[in-house]
């Protein structure tokens, strides 16, 4: 797709991106929130994409890895950019959009990524999203895929968990309790009120998926409760998608 001309002072740029959120703007336009590989989180307007014949708009959908061309606003801190082109690199929606569990997990991945992203480049976070969406194309358990993404992304953000030694005193495990505020597994002496009772094997599963290893499909409920408690503690707010998953 041909791109629009830009002034020398504000050159356009191209980058890989995922759509994390959209909302309608004006009569035919749409605001697209992009997680880009080299420019962080970008908010831009895609003009005319709500028209029925817009092929451009069909590419700016969730679960599509796109190569976008973006024309930055006059003041990036105040003005929306303009998305002038989008070419599909990979489409990950095939096994997601018709399966509620996979769809919910994929939406939670995107919502989490938006919460963790900034306006600075973060190629690692982008790659974690791509790997999670690719994993949702396989027979893997959707909840474990989501939890693996959360644990790896929060560790990358500096919120890694101690899942064998006690997060408070360092006593070697295995332990049978988890506390998000303390930072992971806790021993009986350090266990604060409100800690989650967990099987030590659930903590081991969390360690495996946090480090990108295959994990057994056991204790999935405990792993998910502990992982989401960890995420929501650090975000200080719940995710809409997780609430929907809990109600299903």
Alpha-carbon gap, residue 177 to 108, rounded angstroms: 25
Classify residue 120 by its DSSP letter.
Answer: S
Q: Which residue has the higher pLDDT, 33 or 247?
A: 33
d(CA 193, CA 68) in angstroms, rounded, equals 49
pLDDT at 7 (0 to 100): 44
CATH superfamily of 13-91: Nucleic acid-binding proteins (2.40.50.140)
The CB density around residue 107, as the number of other CB atoms within 10 Å, is 21
Domain with CATH 2.40.50.140 in the chain: 13-91
d(CA 198, CA 92): 33
For residues 243 and 76, the model is more confident at 243
Mean pLDDT to the nearest integer, 191-211:
96
**For 116-138, how does the pLDDT look when each residue is reduced to its tens digit (9 = 90+)?**
998 889 999 999 999 999 999 99
- Give the pLDDT confidence score for residue 145 in this predicted structure: 96
Provide the pLDDT confidence category of residue 3 given band limits of 50, 70 and 90. Answer: very low
Cβ contacts of residue 90 below 8 Å, gap of 6+?
A: 64, 65, 130
* Residue 20: closest CA among 44, 1, 38: 44
**Can you tell me the distance from the alpha carbon of 218 to that of 222, in angstroms, rounded to the nearest whole number?**
9
Q: Mean pLDDT for the chain?
A: 89
pLDDT for 75: 55
pLDDT tens for each residue of 90-119: 999 888 999 999 999 999 999 999 999 988
pTM above 0.85, yes or no: yes
**Length, in residues, of the chain:** 248
Is CATH 1.20.1440.120 what the domain over 100-247 is classified as, yes or no? yes
Q: What is residue 83's predicted lDDT score, i.e. its pLDDT?
A: 93
Confidence of residue 236 (pLDDT cuts 50, 70, 90): confident
- For the stretch 167-188, pLDDT in tens is 999 999 999 999 999 999 999 9
Task: Looking at mean pLDDT, say which of 97-101, 117-121, 200-204, 242-246 comes out highest.
Answer: 200-204
Q: What integer is the mean pLDDT of 24-48?
A: 91
**Chain segment 139-170, per-residue pLDDT in tens:** 889 999 999 999 999 999 999 999 999 999 99
Whether the CB-CB separation of 33 and 19 falls below 8 Å is answered with yes
For residue 50, the model assigns a pLDDT of 78
Residue with tokens 């290893």: 213
Predicted pLDDT of residue 92: 93
pLDDT at 86 over 70: yes
User: Span 75-91, mean pLDDT?
Assistant: 83
What percent of the chain is predicted at pLDDT more than 70?
A: 92
Q: What residue spans in the chain does CATH classification 1.20.1440.120 cover? A: 100-247
Consecutive H or E run containing 144? helix 142-156
How far is residue 239's CA from residue 28's CA, in Å, rounded to a whole number?
Answer: 29
């Amino acid at each position: 797709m041909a791109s629009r001309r830009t002034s020398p002072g504000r050159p356009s740029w191209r980058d890989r991106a995922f759509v994390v959120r959209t909302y309608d703007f004006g009569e035919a336009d749409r605001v697209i929130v992009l997680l880009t590989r080299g420019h962080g989180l970008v908010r831009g307007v895609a003009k005319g994409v709500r028209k029925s014949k817009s092929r451009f708009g069909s590419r700016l959908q969730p679960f599509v890895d796109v190569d976008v061309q973006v024309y930055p606003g006059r003041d990036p801190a105040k003005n929306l950019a303009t998305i002038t082109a989008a070419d599909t690199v990979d489409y990950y929606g095939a096994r997601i959009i018709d399966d509620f569990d996979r769809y919910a997990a994929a939406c939670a991945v995107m919502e989490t990524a938006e919460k963790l992203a900034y306006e600075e480049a973060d190629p690692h976070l982008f790659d974690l999203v791509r790997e999670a969406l690719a994993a949702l194309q396989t027979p893997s358990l959707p909840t474990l895929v989501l939890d693996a993404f959360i644990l790896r992304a929060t560790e990358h953000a500096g919120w890694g968990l101690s899942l064998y030694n006690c997060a408070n005193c360092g006593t070697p495990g295995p332990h049978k309790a988890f506390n998000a505020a303390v930072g992971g597994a806790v021993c009986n002496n350090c266990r604060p009120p409100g800690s989650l009772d967990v099987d030590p094997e659930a903590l081991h599963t969390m360690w495996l998926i946090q480090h990108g290893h295959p994990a057994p499909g056991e204790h999935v409920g405990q792993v998910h409760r502990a992982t989401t408690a960890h995420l929501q503690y650090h975000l200080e707010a719940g995710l809409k998608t997780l609430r929907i998953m809990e109600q299903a």
